[in-house]
């Protein structure tokens, strides 16, 4: 099946779901299982990432069941009838966003409890079963586009109403997720980004192995090639690298910080009020100061390949409180973007599984209790360390059968306090075993904390990384087979 046929399959599935012809669990049953994936033009992706950065400032809008519960996660056992923003006013939201100088917004179409803000045909609880039987997503996208603002949508992979959580993921549940994403990407016009959450996070524990990232990535790129797919996974993949996301997401509100001089396109999210969803105290509570938002967050982030998305929570009427509207206008008076946004260089984006993860590993020698398996465990908080006093060493992964790959990563544990921030590596080279000889396939000198190499597709059963330096260490040596044009 080629790309065009795959796209037709997805389009038919979308129409089938939308018309109610197929139950969600049958959707995508015909999707190919062996294709490498859709190759994304790296130059086009860089242009889309740059355009996203040039939006500079956006608005997160958390409105869902939790709005009516004094909670941050809605109770999945409560009736959808509780949802009733009876004076919903997305035009007010858009006007307030414009007053703050924002360029885009993002609405929580489905949060972790699983309630959908659009009339989904997949059987999930949604607005048509609520006390406000209207399509909130449609009202939002129409109002913000009318105001000249770009639109993004937020979608939670974790879904407590449908019992989509760690170790319960099935093919039927993956089909449900795909069907809902298809509805969002086919019924509401072009999106700047689809922002995912509740996936591959320490607190959600739904891994990219349980629910394959590449399947969702290919779906999004098939339906909307210009839509950026971003995932809130910075806690799992710290550092200046794009692992499983087109835009690096930092949840500033949870303490995640952008590394200094970050080279990758990023977004930092925080709140105007104290938390994400509206609380009864918000109309009179303290808000983040306008000067802090502009001088401490917005301006520095814009200088660091990052834009700021500021959450403003609508109240139970579906409107912003007066104090929030006033604060946004105050921000707009202080926020005067100047100069061009710094250009980003092309970044290697990892979207496929690490083929070396969990495979048998060897080393020339290791320090105490830090064997080579720690460089192949997909855990950036563990690392192999050469034996003390040694200035060089190697680690090796072995496959049961010849394995193809075309991208590799060399990651030094420079974020670990015991290892230190300065690089210990002065030179490295990756090699494959061919005919009893070790053949170089990539090399470098002192690497950044994250170093990627794109190479011609290579087949090997043994792959070795040799490093030289002052008792050097490696937190991950990754091998990937990325789709390429």
**Entry pTM:** 0.91
Radius of gyration of the chain (CA): 24
The burial class, CB within 10 Å (0-12 / 13-18 / 19+), for 392 is middle
Is residue 1 within 8 Å of 9, Cβ to Cβ? yes
Cα–Cα distance, 264 to 270 (Å, whole number): 19
Helix (H, G, I), strand (E, B) or coil at 214: helix
| Residue appearing with tokens 């002065």 | 426
Q: Which residues have a Cβ under 8 Å from the Cβ of 5 and sit 6 or more positions away?
A: none
Name the token pair of 297: 């967050």
List the beta bridge partners of residue 206: none
DSSP line for 10-60: HHHHHHHHHHTSS-GGGTTTTS-SS---PPP-HHHHHHHHHHHHTT-EEEE
The domain locations on the chain are 3-334, 353-480
Is residue 206 within 8 Å of 165, Cβ to Cβ? yes
Query: What secondary structure letter does DSSP report for 68?
Result: G
List the beta bridge partners of residue 313: none
- Distance between terminal CA atoms of the chain? 15
Cα–Cα distance, 302 to 310 (Å, whole number): 14
- pLDDT at site 447: 61
| H or E, element range at 264 | none
Is residue 359 within 8 Å of 377, Cβ to Cβ? no
How far is C-alpha 101 from the geometric centre of its chain's CA atoms? 25
Helix (H, G, I), strand (E, B) or coil at 459: strand
Cα–Cα distance, 404 to 72 (Å, whole number): 44
Q: At what angle do helices 322-334 and 90-99 cross, to 10 degrees?
A: 30
Helical spans, DSSP H, in 235-339: 290-291, 299-302, 322-334
Query: What secondary structure letter does DSSP report for 78?
Result: S
Q: Report which of 264, 255, 223, 198 is spatially closest to residue 3, judged by C-alpha positions.
A: 223
- At the second CATH level, the architecture of 3-334 is Alpha-Beta Barrel (3.20)
**CA distances, 149 to each of 15, 24, 96, 135, 262 (Å):** 28, 32, 12, 19, 27
Cα–Cα distance, 207 to 1 (Å, whole number): 27
CATH of domain 353-480: 2.60.120.260
Is residue 76 within 8 Å of 160, Cβ to Cβ? yes
| H or E, element range at 185 | helix 171-187
Cα–Cα distance, 268 to 8 (Å, whole number): 36
**CA distances, 349 to each of 1, 381, 431 (Å):** 24, 20, 22
Cα–Cα distance, 177 to 159 (Å, whole number): 9
Name the token pair of 58: 């956006």
Name the token pair of 320: 């912003």
**CA distances, 138 to each of 70, 117, 186 (Å):** 26, 9, 12
What is the mean pLDDT for each group of 10 consecutive residues in the chain (485 residues)? 39 40 38 65 96 98 98 98 98 98 98 98 98 98 98 98 97 98 98 97 92 97 98 87 95 90 93 98 98 96 95 98 98 93 90 97 94 95 93 96 97 88 93 96 81 95 97 96 91
Is residue 251 within 8 Å of 225, Cβ to Cβ? no
Cα–Cα distance, 84 to 193 (Å, whole number): 27
- pLDDT at site 136: 99
Cα–Cα distance, 53 to 50 (Å, whole number): 5
Query: What secondary structure letter does DSSP report for 296?
Result: I
| C-alpha angle 224-118-192 in degrees, rounded to nearest 5 | 30
- pLDDT at site 35: 52
Q: Report which of 178, 191, 179, 72 is spatially closest to residue 137, judged by C-alpha positions.
A: 191
Cα–Cα distance, 128 to 117 (Å, whole number): 9
């Amino acid at each position: 099946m080629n790309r065009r046929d795959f796209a037709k399959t997805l389009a038919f599935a979308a129409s089938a779901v939308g018309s109610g012809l197929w139950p969600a669990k049958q959707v995508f049953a015909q999707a190919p299982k062996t294709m490498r994936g859709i190759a994304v033009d790296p130059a086009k992706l860089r242009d889309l990432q740059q355009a996203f950065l040039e939006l500079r400032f956006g608005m997160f809008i958390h409105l869902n069941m939790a709005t009516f519960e004094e909670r941050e996660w809605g109770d999945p056992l409560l009736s959808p009838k509780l949802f009733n923003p009876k004076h919903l006013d997305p035009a007010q939201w858009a006007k307030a966003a414009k007053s703050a100088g924002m360029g885009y917004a993002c609405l929580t179409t489905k949060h972790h409890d699983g309630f959908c803000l659009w009339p989904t045909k997949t059987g999930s609880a949604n607005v048509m079963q609520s006390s406000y039987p209207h399509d909130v997503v449609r009202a939002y996208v129409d109002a913000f586009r009318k105001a000249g603002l770009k639109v993004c949508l937020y979608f939670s992979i974790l879904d407590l109403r449908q019992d989509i959580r760690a170790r319960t993921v099935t093919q039927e549940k993956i089909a449900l997720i795909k069907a809902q994403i298809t509805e969002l990407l086919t019924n509401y016009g072009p999106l700047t980004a689809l922002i995912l959450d509740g996936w591959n996070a320490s607190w959600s524990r739904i891994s990219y192995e349980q629910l394959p990232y590449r399947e969702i990535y290919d779906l999004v790129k098939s339906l909307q090639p210009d839509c950026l797919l971003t995932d809130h996974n910075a806690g799992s993949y710290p550092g200046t690298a794009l692992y499983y996301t087109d835009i690096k997401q930092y949840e500033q509100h949870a303490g995640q910080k952008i590394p200094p001089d970050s080279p990758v396109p990023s977004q930092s999210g925080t709140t105007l009020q104290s938390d994400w969803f509206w609380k009864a105290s918000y109309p009179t509570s303290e808000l983040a100061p306008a000067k802090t938002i502009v001088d401490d967050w917005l301006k520095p982030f814009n200088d660091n390949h990052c834009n700021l998305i500021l959450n403003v929570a609508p109240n139970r009427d579906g409107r912003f409180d007066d104090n929030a509207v006033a604060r946004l206008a105050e921000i707009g008076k202080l926020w005067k973007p100047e100069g061009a946004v710094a250009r980003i260089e092309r970044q290697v984006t990892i979207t496929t599984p690490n083929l070396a993860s969990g495979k048998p590993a060897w080393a020339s020698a290791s320090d105490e209790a830090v064997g080579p398996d720690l460089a192949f465990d997909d855990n950036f908080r563990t690392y192999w360390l050469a034996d003390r006093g040694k200035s060089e060493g190697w680690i090796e992964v072995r496959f049961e059968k010849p394995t193809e790959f075309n991208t590799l990563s060399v990651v030094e544990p420079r974020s670990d306090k015991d290892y230190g921030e300065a690089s210990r590596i002065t030179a490295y080279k990756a090699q494959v075993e061919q005919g009893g000889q070790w053949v170089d396939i990539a090399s470098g000198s002192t690497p950044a904390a994250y170093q990627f190499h794109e190479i011609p597709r290579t087949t090997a059963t043994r792959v070795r990384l040799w490093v030289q330096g002052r008792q050097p260490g490696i937190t991950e040596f990754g091998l990937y087979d990325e789709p390429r044009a």
